[in-house]
Amino acid sequence: MLYEETAVTVGRRHRLKTCGPIISVRLERPPGGTEPYPPLDVTALIDTGACGVYIQAGIADELGLPVVGSGTVSTPTHRGEPVSLYRVKLTFSAGFYLEMQAAEVPLERQQYRCLIGRDVLKHARFTYDGLTGTFSLDF
């Protein structure tokens, strides 16, 4: 399965540079919950600087995800912020999915509701070509 964005203009290269590699991901509660919750299709940023999966604050409630733990998150401006951890199913193109822990963080004023970090990327090949304005994510 392959995500591919092809750029044929300078505008597309600029978009990749300014917005980053953006994909669509379906988030849902893993099997085994008592109540059905509809899946949520969101825009996600592939972030090689992130070690985990991060979901926008409020998504856990939308999906009825139970807290499975707690941890801390460090950002360039904050160190050791406490966060709740949730088990979530992420479905990518053509039905490829992973069940992983995700931390809920404030992602206000962003064009994405999820960050895809290295714990997902370790299962894939990610290529970013700034010269052509393309990227691919192959599982």
| DSSP per-residue string spanning 84-120 | EEEEEEEE-GGG-EEEEEEEEE--TT-S-SEEE-HHH
Domains contained in the chain, CATH given = 2-138 (2.40.70.10)
- Round to whole Å and give the CA distance between 42 and 75: 22
Q: Quick one: pLDDT at residue 63?
A: 96
Predicted confidence (pLDDT) per residue in 92-139, tens digit: 987 899 999 999 999 888 899 999 999 999 999 999 988 888 899 999
Whole-model pTM?
0.88
Predicted confidence (pLDDT) per residue in 16-38, tens digit: 888 999 999 999 999 887 778 99
Q: Quick one: pLDDT at residue 14?
A: 81
Q: Quick one: pLDDT at residue 7?
A: 41
Q: Which residue has the higher pLDDT, 4 or 138?
A: 138
